[in-house]
Amino acid sequence: MGGESGGALRVPAFRLYFVGRSVSSLGDRIAPLSLAFAVLAISGSPSALGIVLAAGTIPKLLLVLVGGVVGDRFERRKVLVSTDLTMGLAQAVSAALLLTGNALVWQLAVLQAVYGSASAFYSPTSTGAVRDLVGPEALQQANSLLGLTRSAAGIVGPAVAGILVAAAAPGWAIAFDAVTFLVSALALSAIALPMGRASLGNSIRADLVDGWREFVARNWVWVMVLSFTVYQATVLPAVGVVGPVVAEAALGGAGAWAAVLVGRSCGSLLAGGVLLRWTPQRTGIAMQLLMLLDLPFLLGLATGAPLWFVVVSGAFAGGGLTAGDTLWSTALQQHVPDQALARVSSYDWMGSLAMAPVGYALVGGAAKTYGTSSTLYVIAALHVISTGLPLLLPSLRSLRSNPARPEPG
């Protein structure tokens, strides 16, 4: 395993992985906007768009635990290459249908289901893959670098998508996404270092049970996942659903909200740069305090604060989320045994995904019934409670960075 003598980018295998993930991240930020305009151009129906987006989300929710088993049972590089090729093929077929004028909504929904199914295997496997490539002292830097590329893609991707959709057609933007998956697969294929080892379970069920034991063996892990579940069901819907409503009513419309989103992305980018050089020793405490940076942003939206305050607080919120997520990924990689890491990560993903669709529906309904301000105040209170309560755990408060080896189960 590399990384002992320097930073993550000094490890040749990680450099290849980083290139693949960076290119793929750009495609990931281009595709959603392009797909949305493509479906609306075909159908003119928001409900059709909802069906296509749900088709990509539901299979991931159903299969992510199996994806964790596969990520621990098989060599991770092969799993990641296979999922990249599958997602790339789904996007390539979608692009071909769109560009030839033959696309139907049901076809795009089926292809997004294929895409979402492959993503269910990619997400937990990638958590384990990073630790396969770098030493424990370089894990935070590796995760920070990956977070930086995602943040940069969050700024550049939508702009590129807008240009491609306006100047050419949505199909070309989705074709670009397909090419990024091919580039990622080629980069991963060039990695010679073995990534992960096969687990010894006799069945998927046995592996799931064993992964669950590892998941609950550390109370800070499952308590934090519960906290993230609340976050996914409240704070993120507040940003995605209530935020645009507030912007339309009080901040100046779509242009103002675009400025807020750019501010969040810039904050994320800055946070990734900071974590390249700063390693908080009390990881658990740092994670929770960083996540609380969402509070001024939520209160700013609720109280009708001026646009400059919402943009600035949004930048801090985006930075806190990115930094907290980076520290969380690093903590899992440092404290969970390698042979169970993908499965523990899959339970984390399940917790993150399970309540998100319900949260979007409930938050949207609450904003319509009780008003945006009341809804945001309640969400802010829930955020403080769900983020603060885990700090009562001694195991979380004492969680430290960079152990020499993962803890035993």
Q: What distance in Å separates the CA atoms of residue 330 and residue 326, rounded to the nearest whole number?
A: 6
At 84 the pLDDT is: 93
CA distance 188 to 143: 17
Q: What is the pLDDT of residue 182?
A: 93
Helix (H, G, I), strand (E, B) or coil at 202: coil
Chunk the chain into consecutive blocks of 10 residues (it has 409) and report each block's average pLDDT, rounded to whole numbers: 56 88 85 80 73 81 85 84 94 94 90 92 83 77 84 78 77 91 91 66 76 86 90 84 79 76 84 80 88 93 90 92 87 80 83 77 81 90 93 87 54
State the pLDDT at residue 254: 63
Give the pLDDT confidence score for residue 402 in this predicted structure: 61
What integer pLDDT is reported at residue 380 of this predicted model?
94
pTM: 0.77
| Residue ranges of domains in the chain, CATH in brackets | 8-198 (1.20.1250.20), 211-397 (1.20.1250.20)
Q: Shortest CA distance to 90 belongs to which of 199, 180, 186?
A: 180
R_g of the chain computed on alpha carbons: 21
Q: In the chain, what is the straight-line distance between the N-terminal and C-terminal CA atoms, in Å?
A: 22
Burial 312-337 (b: 16+ CB within 10 A, else e): bbbbbbbbbbbbbbbbbbbbbbbbbe
Of 29, 16, 294, 244, the residue nearest 151 (C-alpha): 29
Residue 200: predicted pLDDT: 53
